[in-house]
């Protein structure tokens, strides 16, 4: 089965948050993404609310429940007490736990599963009571020992951090090396009984080789590159709309 696409709305929210106005609408763009065939929506609310805000979550939950019941809601974040309460209220189909410091501009590494095994196990056990699938953000070159510790937490999946692969957009040789590291880690995870998601800096260009190298890939979540693509491909039509509206 081909990997599912979950559209990350953080970049849309960041743009909305520049002004005290309701556009671009996070829920509205989520609706467009799902109507176009995306399989789910992802948000990564951070403690400073600079991306999606806690108040976005009930609207997105209702959008999926009321209009796209087959779609999935994926909430990502660092498991503080506040985050766990937020997730328990929003009841997403999937929770992705990410070891982000609040000061980090964006996610840039996976968990040290060995060092955090017992803590993660307690959190995974708590979150599984909501019925959500649990995924853990994972370094692209995690060792067999690390993957064994991830599996021991009781999580269902890992999400491979694809940032270093995405960063090689202008260096094919390095991209091939990064892809191989991701592929090896995905194989270790699969052998340990963990399903594999992937995300960070994925694009239309780098997604097909990733899907070929990891044929059992379950889901990709894409925000920054997908939003940039939407702007690029939507700009001409929008300029025409403004010109037509003005009668110019």
Ligand X SMILES: CC(=O)[C@@H](O)[C@H](O)COP(=O)(O)O
Ligand Y SMILES: NCC(=O)COP(=O)(O)O
* Single residue of 194, 201, 206, 219 touching ligand Y by CB under 6 A: 201
Report the residue count for the chain: 248
Single out the catalytic residue among 39, 44, 159, 219.
44
Q: What angle (nearest 5°) sits at the alpha carbon of residue 91, between those of residues 21 and 122?
A: 120
Scan residues 218-247 and list those touching ligand Y (CB under 6 A): 221-225
Q: What character string, x for contact with ligand Y (CB under 6 A) and - otherwise, covers 159-178?
A: x-------------------
Q: Could you tell me the end-to-end alpha-carbon distance of the chain, in angstroms, rounded to an integer?
A: 49
Single out the catalytic residue among 76, 159, 178, 219.
76
Tokens standing for residue 122: 């307690």
- 219 is annotated as an active-site residue: no
Q: Would you count residue 106 as binding ligand X (CB under 6 A)?
A: yes
Which C-beta is closer to ligand Y: that of 106 or that of 130? Answer: 106
- 76 is annotated as an active-site residue: yes
CB contact at 8 A, 71 and 35: no
Which positions ≥6 away from 55 have C-beta within 8 Å? Answer: none
CB contact at 8 A, 93 and 60: no
Place of tokens 């990410």: 98
DSSP reduced 3-state for 115: helix
| DSSP code, position 167 | T
Q: Is 123 exposed, middle or buried (0-12, 13-18, 19+ CB in 10 A)?
A: buried
- 169 is annotated as an active-site residue: no
Size of the site for ligand Y (CB under 6 A): 13
Place of tokens 């039509």: 237
Phi, psi of 105 (to 5 degrees): -65, -35
CB contact at 8 A, 23 and 16: yes
Report, in Å, the least distance between residue 224 CB and ligand Y.
4
Q: What character string, x for contact with ligand X (CB under 6 A) and - otherwise, covers 120-159?
A: -----------------x----------------------
Query: For ligand X, which stretch binds (CB under 6 A), given 4-12, 16-24, 59-67, 140-148?
Result: 4-12
Query: For ligand Y, which stretch binds (CB under 6 A), given 46-54, 112-120, 145-153, 194-202?
Result: 194-202
Report, in Å, the least distance between residue 44 CB and ligand Y.
6
Tokens standing for residue 49: 């609310």
Report, in Å, the least distance between residue 70 CB and ligand X.
23
Any binding-site annotation on 46? Answer: yes
Residues of the binding site for 1-deoxy-D-xylulose 5-phosphate = 46, 51, 106
Instruction: Indicate which residues carry an active-site annotation.
Output: 44, 76, 200
Q: Which residues of the chain form contacts with ligand X (CB under 6 A)?
A: 8, 10-11, 44, 51, 76, 98, 106-107, 137, 199-200, 223-224
Residues of the binding site = 8, 19, 46, 51, 106, 201, 223-224
């Amino acid at each position: 089965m081909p990997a599912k696409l979950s559209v990350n709305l953080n970049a849309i929210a960041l743009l909305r948050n520049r002004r005290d106005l309701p556009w671009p609408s996070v829920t509205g763009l989520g609706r467009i993404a799902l109507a176009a065939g995306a399989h789910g929506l992802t948000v990564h609310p951070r403690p400073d609310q600079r991306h999606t805000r806690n108040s976005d979550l009930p609207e997105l939950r209702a959008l999926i429940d009321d209009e796209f019941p087959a779609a999935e809601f994926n909430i990502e974040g660092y498991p503080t007490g506040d985050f766990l309460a937020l997730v328990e209220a929003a009841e997403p189909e999937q929770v992705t736990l990410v070891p982000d410091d609040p000061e980090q501009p964006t996610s840039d590494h996976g968990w040290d599963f060995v060092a955090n095994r017992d803590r993660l196990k307690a959190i995974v056990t708590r979150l599984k009571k909501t019925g959500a699938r649990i995924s853990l953000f994972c370094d692209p070159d995690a060792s067999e020992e690390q993957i064994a510790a991830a599996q021991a937490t009781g999580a269902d999946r890992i999400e491979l951090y694809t940032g270093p692969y995405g960063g090689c957009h202008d260096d094919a040789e390095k991209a091939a090396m990064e892809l191989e590291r991701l592929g090896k880690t995905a194989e270790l995870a699969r052998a340990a009984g963990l399903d594999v998601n992937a995300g960070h800096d994925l694009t239309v260009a780098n997604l097909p080789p990733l899907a070929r190298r990891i044929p059992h890939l379950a889901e990709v979540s894409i925000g920054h590159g997908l939003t940039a693509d939407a702007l690029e491909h939507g700009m001409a039509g929008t300029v025409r709309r403004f010109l037509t509206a003005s009668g110019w």
